Amino acid sequence: MKKIVKLLTLLVVFLLLSGCTSSTNDKKTTEVRIGILQVPNDVAASRQLKYISNYFDQEHIKVKYIIFDSGVDANKALISGDIDFATMGDTNAVVALTSKIDAKLVWVNDVLGNNEGLVVRNGSGIKDFDDLAGQKIATPFASTSHYSLMMTLKKHHLLNKVSLLDMDTQDIVAAWNRGDISAAYTWQPTLTPMLKNGHFLITSENLRDQNRITANVTLVRGGFERKNPKLVSGLLQQLNKAHIEMQKDPNITIKAASKQMDLSYSEAKSQIGTSKWLTSKQMVDDKFLSETFPEQLYITGKFMSQQQTIDHAPSKKEINDFIADKYVNELGDD
């Protein structure tokens, strides 16, 4: 992971020196490129409900969606200027910050619940955390799952007693089916097939209850944000509609997300799980984006630095500068 962070940092420096990141501000924006995760989230619901397409159609702007399996590749795309927005886990947002990627955090898509967790195979003999000693545990490195796993292992004094395997979500399912691993910390939809012959040892909802919050967030590329603040506000307004609808009538939102992702209603509902979709009003009223979440990112950054997954722990000032909460503040009650 440290090598990935170094490579990202070097790529940022190279592009800055070569001028590849300079934007043509004299040209009108005609296309918005959004990096997405293959999950039934607010982006999926907003797409199906036509919130996003209707807004950008009014602005005479095309929308292009690019799928990423993790935030690592999304960060590379932000650096190269191949995307304008990217949804990723907050740990990869911390990587973006410490790698000095020109981007801002502008939205919290969802606060994670039981849609991420540590699942263990039935009949493996793993009944408690102590039983993990000597086991191989898979997780996508630099992800929220990786961070949650490391926090759990540290709490139970298991950091040097297990073998950690860096795998993407598809490889985790394949390794599970082959019987190569008996435990993995990952997210939906990967969890669904694994839970058919496995069970949770802990979930990110449990960690959330212990005040260890993880979330999926949206970053915007710096060059795009400086040139198009109106479009940033416009996109967030559409995502906020999905959050409001989720709290008013979850069935509408879940049905939309399930249709967009070609899932059954029950599959989408299960994959969304107990994640929290905070509205902009809740983020403002509860000071989530201005106080609670920055503090969590600070704790996350310190831990990642201690584990040497990033080259330094970001200061509170760096984190506050990285979060552009003005957009959420402007949305208010929308």
> Is 327 domain-assigned?
yes
CA-wise closest residue to 261 among 65, 20, 29:
65
| Same domain as 123, residue 270 | no
Cβ count near 44 (within 10 Å)? 25
Cα 36 to Cα 14, 39, 255, 274: the distances in Å are 26, 8, 19, 20
Strand order in the sheet with 163-166: 163-166, 136-139, 183-187, 116-121, 198-203
> Does residue 7 carry a pLDDT above 60?
no
- Identify whether 312 is part of a domain: yes
Specify the pLDDT at position 14.
54
How many distinct structural domains can be found in the chain? 2
CB 142 within 8 A of CB 1: yes
Contact 239, 334 (CB under 8 A): no
Residue from 249, 139, 244 nearest 183 by CA: 139
Q: Are strands 85-89 and 215-221 parallel, antiparallel or unpaired?
A: antiparallel
Give yes or no: residues 221 and 307 share one domain. yes
Residue 126 lies in a domain: yes
Q: Residue 145: which of 77, 68, 207 has the closest Cα?
A: 207
Q: DSSP letters along 70-86, please?
A: SHHHHHHHHHHTS-SEE
Residue 220 and residue 95 in one domain? yes
Domain assignment of residue 22, yes or no: no
Q: Same structural domain for residues 243 and 135?
A: no
Q: Does some domain include residue 1?
A: no
Task: Please check whether residue 218 is in contact with residue 86, taking contact to mean a CB–CB distance below 8 angstroms.
Answer: yes
- Residue 225: the pLDDT is 98
282-308 tens-digit pLDDT: 999 999 999 999 999 999 999 999 988
In this prediction, residues 236-253 reach a mean pLDDT of 98
**Domain ranges, residue 137:** 116-209
pTM recorded for the entire structure:
0.90
Amino acid at 172: I
Confidence at residue 310, expressed as pLDDT on a 0 to 100 scale: 94
Q: Is 19 left (phi over 0), alpha (psi -120 to 50) or beta?
A: left
CA atoms within 13 A on the CB side of 259: 12
Residues 122 and 86 in one domain: no
Residues 291 and 253 reside in one and the same domain: yes
Mean pLDDT value across residues 150-170 = 96
Looking at per-residue confidence, does 4 or 27 come out higher? Answer: 27
Judge whether 10 lies within some domain.
no
Beta-carbon count within 10 A of 251 CB = 11
Tokens at 86, concatenated: 């990217």
The CATH number assigned to the domain holding 74 equals 3.40.190.10
Choosing from 176, 209, 242, the residue where a domain stops is 209
Instruction: Single out the residue of 238, 245, 280 nearest to residue 58, CA to CA.
Output: 238
Q: Side by side, which strands form the sheet with 215-221?
A: 62-67, 31-36, 85-89, 215-221, 103-111
Q: Is 210 exposed, middle or buried (0-12, 13-18, 19+ CB in 10 A)?
A: exposed
What are 56-81's pLDDT values in tens digits?
999 999 999 999 988 889 999 999 99
User: Which residue, 183, 209, 235, sits at the end of a domain?
Assistant: 209
Quick one: average pLDDT of 229-258?
A: 98
Q: Which of the four pLDDT bands, split at 50, 70 and 90, describes residue 13?
A: low
The closest alpha carbon to 52, from 208, 274, 260, belongs to 260
Residue 8 has pLDDT above 80, yes or no: no
Cβ of 230: how many Cβ atoms within 10 Å? 10
Domain check: are 102 and 234 in the same one?
A: yes
* pLDDT per residue as tens digits for the range 128-146: 999 999 999 999 998 999 9
Residues 106 and 133 occupy one common structural domain: no
